[in-house]
Each structure stands twice: as C-alpha cells, then as structure tokens.
Amino acid sequence: MAKVKSSYFCQSCGYESPKWLGKCPSCQQWNTFVEEVVEKKSAGIPDWRNTTHSTVSRANQPHKIQEIAYTEEHRLITPDKELNRVLGGGIVGGSLVLIGGEPGIGKSTLMLQLALTLPNIKVLYVSGEESEQQIKLRAERILNNPFSDCYILTETSTQNIFKQIEILEPNIVVIDSIQTLHSAHMESTPGSVSQVRECTAELLRFAKESNTPVFLIGHITKDGMIAGPKILEHMVDTVLQFEGDRHHVYRILRAIKNRFGSAAELGIYEMQGSGLREVSNPSEILLSLREEALSGVTVSATMEGMRPMLIETQALVSNSPYGTPQRSSTGFDTKRMNMLLAVLEKRCGFKLGAKDVFLNIAGGIKIEDPSIDLGLIAAIISSHEDIPISHKICFAAEVGLSGEIRAVTRIEQRIAEAEKLGFEQIFISKYNKKGLDLSKYKIGIQTVAKVEEVFELLF
Ligand code: TYD
Ligand code: MG
C-alpha cells in the first residue's frame, strides 16, 4: 500500500506546512492547523475532459497593449435586475461567481430562482445539501414554470458532476455548496481547505475552458468570513455576499469583489412566501409612512453602493436605572455611536453620561455610510429633549470629533432622492455647498458647519 501523504493546512488562510504549527506564519492566527491527506490518486480518474492539472499549453506571446483587440464581453442579461446590477450588467461567460451568506438567508432560493426564470437557457443546479424532492418543493413555492430548462443533480463528487456536464452541456452551472463537494484527486474530507481549494480549481478550469458561467454557493463562518481558505476568494472572479437579518424580510446582495464590474454595487430583495422579490425603490420601504412627527425619529439620505437610500433611524434616550448606562444599537456600529455621544457631551454640553441610549435602523439593514451621523445625533437629541423633528426634514452629513459637520460624497444624488420622496428640507454640510447649484432644487437646502447650529435651527 502506498504511503499516505498528509500535510497541515491553516483553516483560515490555507497556508500549507509539513508539520503542525501553533501559529500560522502567513496569517498570524493561532491554533488553526489541521492535518489533511493530500495524496493524489494517479491514473483512471476522469477529470474535466481528461485534461491534466496543467492548463492548456498554448505558448503565449507578449502583445503591445495598443495591438490587443478589444471585444465587449458578451453578457447574459437575467430577468433579475438586482442580480444584473450587482454582477456589473449581467452574467459574463466563463466567470466563476462565489455567493456567500449565513445559513437560511436565501442563497439557495436566489440561485434556484435564477435557474427557473432564465428563458431558453439550460441550467444545471447541483445540490449536495438537499434532495431532489426538497428542491422541487422549493421550486414550486417560487414559481411553477413548465418552460424553464433547469436540471437538478444531487451529487457531491466533482468527477461525476463533470461527467454529467459533458452529457448535458448546460449553459450555466450552479453548485450548492462548494463545501459539500469532494474531488477524487484529494483524500481529505469535504469542506476541508484542500478539498475546497481543489474543487474550486477544477470548476475554475471547467468554467474557463468551456466558457460556462459557474455559480458557487459558499457557507459563512461565525465571524462572517466565507468558510474555507481566503484563497477561494482570490480564485473566483466575483464574490457576492448575501446578507440581512433573518428575522426581517429584506436581504442585500453585495459585491465584495468583481473582476467584471464595480465592487460597490448592491441589490435589494424582499423574502416573501413565494421567493425573493426585487426591491427597485428601497427608500419607499425603509421609511415607515407616518403622518405625524415623533420624537427620536429622523431620516437620513445615505448611499449604499451607488444607490441613494433614505433610511429612518430611531433613538431612545432614557434615564438609566442601573449604575452603568446601557448603549445598544441595531444596524449601526456601537463604537461609532459612543463617539457621537461623546461629541454631544463634550462639544454641546448634553448630559448623556447617565442615560441609556438605544439606536435602531429601520428594516434590519446595516449602514456603514458615515453620512447617517447627523441624522443619528439629531434623533438622539430629539428623544432626549422629547421634541419631535418634522418628518419633512432629512439629513446627510458626517460629524467629526470636534463637532464639525463634514461633507459627504455624491451629495447631488442624495438631494435628488430626498426631493423625489417629497422631503421639504435637507441638512447638509457647509463644505458640500461648493459646486452645488442650489437653484436647481425645489427642496430647501440648509447648510451647517457645527453641531450646535443644527440644534439651534431644529429645536
Ligand atoms: P435558503 O435559500 O434555503 O437559504 P440558504 O440556502 O442561504 O441556507 O432559504 C431558506 C429560508 O428562506 C427559509 O427560512 C425559508 C425562506 N423562504 C421564504 O420565506 N420564501 C420562499 O419562497 C422560500 C423558497 C424560502
Ligand atoms: Mg441552501
């Protein structure tokens, strides 16, 4: 019997070492090394069209950049406008796309929905997680389309998958999920670093050589990283993250990396009883339709990717019954909230040290855009003083450590969105005024430079 060859792999970054190490020299993580069998079986295993591990040996020559003929990539436009947007305008032939997300967020639903709604396109949906019956049940929930050309294969061996692909010749392949696949070239267990890497490499070769787009669904670890080596993200062309709060209906599909488009794009969906519905106008759903102004509620004009979105923030400030006041926020970084509270204490003299402060961003989505700062502190003070702010006012500015109101990007788009949704006034930074044609807008534009000024104007 041949000696079994094994190696140790860092489960975090994929670093390979012949012996066990406590700390990974590559990513500096502790206790991440796991022994995996790496011996390759030799002959008799069918690979993708029997090509060996080396790529096609075509002697490439250098070309002068001016001489390279430029051809527009052919993109397949899907019926899902949000997905098209996130992919940079449709699916590129031969691209390898990784979709990551927490369990139960809707990755399988998104991909199955894509497979079912593509007209006249043969899609092979390979599932290593669910049975054919389960998938059929889900498909019936989504839509009953007898015309769709979608094939389901429950299989986990890459060699068998490639065999079926050769027979079926699909136009698109979906793999649910990459962590369940195993290749006969590797002896380690499915989901291990070396298996994930090998299976992805095989699929990558298949995608490039046959010019077939391949979608990989990937699991996510507790800290939000796609499980498996980081190199998985380097190998694929596009990494999409599907996120949202499982208890809310809204889901965001975010491009983290995209070789064929902008990585700042995002798509918004609503999870319904019959699958995912595209949300083309996010502002309307994120604003609760209220008739009267309430204290502690403000609206901010934020940008998510390239899209302006008006988002409602709620704050509640109350006397703390305990010695240490509670600070909690949903959808917003707690550290940044504490910084804003410190600015209010120190620069504006509000005594918030003994108060509980709770913040909530409507719709269960996370906001990283700092332009929400001004809206947040206005909501905090509105709740603290119990004075409502008119629901016809919105905010778009960042707040600095000395209480200065700072400029934000794409101010025209934010103003236009606020105007479109019927707001009567928007507070922006004085430094955003430069180059802005104020006469163009019907909405009142209030420019401010200091936090104190905002409060004088509001309360
Ligand atoms: P799923 O696609 O299985 O998630 P993932 O593959 O990311 O683990 O989605 C599962 C959740 O979506 C489940 O909680 C039920 C819900 N769902 C709906 O609300 N409506 C639907 O039409 C479908 C198919 C699923
Ligand atoms: Mg799934």
Are 339 and 454 in the same domain? yes
Are 263 and 382 in the same domain? no
The answer to whether the bond into 177 is cis (omega within 30° of 0) is yes
Are 136 and 210 in the same domain? yes
Asked if residue 46 is part of any domain, the answer here is: no
Q: Which helix (H) or strand (E) holds 159?
A: helix 158-168
Alpha carbon of 299 to ligand 1 centroid (Å): 31
Final residue before a domain boundary, out of 246, 280, 314: 280
Asked if residue 91 is part of any domain, the answer here is: yes
Final residue before a domain boundary, out of 263, 280, 297: 280
Could you tell me which residues are annotated as the binding site for ATP? 101-108
Asked if residue 240 is part of any domain, the answer here is: yes
Are 117 and 32 in the same domain? no
* Stretches in the chain below the pLDDT threshold 70: 1-3, 39-58, 70-72, 144-147, 221-230, 285-286, 288-291
Are 225 and 310 in the same domain? no
Q: How many domains does the chain have?
A: 3
Alpha carbon of 251 to ligand 2 centroid (Å): 15
Asked if residue 93 is part of any domain, the answer here is: yes
Please report the atom of ligand 1 found closest to the CA of residue 112: 2
Query: Residue written as tokens 């699991």?
Result: 219
Residue 83, token pair as written in the block: 């997905």
Asked if residue 420 is part of any domain, the answer here is: yes
Which ligand does the CA of 249 lie closest to? Answer: 1
Are 305 and 451 in the same domain? yes
Which ligand does the CA of 247 lie closest to? Answer: 1
Are 272 and 329 in the same domain? no
Answer whether 244 contacts ligand 1 (Cβ < 6 A).
no
Task: Specify the residue with its C-alpha closest to ligand 1, atom 25.
Answer: 275
Answer whether 106 contacts ligand 1 (Cβ < 6 A).
yes
Answer whether 247 contacts ligand 1 (Cβ < 6 A).
no
Domain of 418: which CATH number? Answer: 3.30.230.10
Are 292 and 276 in the same domain? no
- Residue-wise pLDDT tens digits, 136-156: 999 988 876 666 789 999 999
The CA–CA distances, whole Å, from 417 to 122, 263, 338, 339, 456 equal 40, 22, 29, 28, 26
Asked if residue 352 is part of any domain, the answer here is: yes
Pocket probe mutation, ligand 1, options 109, 142, 240, 245, max atoms within 8 Å of Cβ: 109
Answer whether 218 contacts ligand 1 (Cβ < 6 A).
no
Q: What is the pLDDT of residue 43?
A: 47
**264 within 8 A of 304, measured Cβ to Cβ:** no
- Indicate the Cα dihedral angle 136, 140, 144, 145, nearest 10°: -30
Are 82 and 217 in the same domain? yes
Which ligand does the CA of 246 lie closest to? Answer: 1
Phi, psi of 283 (to 5 degrees): -60, -40
Could you tell me which residues are annotated as the binding site? 101-108
Alpha carbon of 83 to ligand 2 centroid (Å): 18
Are 351 and 230 in the same domain? no
Please report the atom of ligand 1 found closest to the CA of residue 102: 7
Q: Please give the ipTM for the structure prediction.
A: 0.96
Tell me the three state secondary structure of residue 298: strand
Asked if residue 370 is part of any domain, the answer here is: yes
Please report the atom of ligand 1 found closest to the CA of residue 176: 6
Pocket probe mutation, ligand 1, options 246, 271, 278, max atoms within 8 Å of Cβ: 271
Query: Residue written as tokens 């979105």?
Result: 309
Structural domain for 119, as ranges: 76-280
Domain of 107: which CATH number? Answer: 3.40.50.300
Asked if residue 42 is part of any domain, the answer here is: no
Which ligand does the CA of 111 lie closest to? Answer: 1
Are 86 and 127 in the same domain? yes
Final residue before a domain boundary, out of 226, 251, 280: 280
Answer whether 105 contacts ligand 1 (Cβ < 6 A).
yes
Answer whether 238 contacts ligand 1 (Cβ < 6 A).
no
Are 299 and 197 in the same domain? no
Q: What is the pLDDT of residue 26?
A: 83
Question: What is the C-alpha R_g of the chain?
Answer: 26
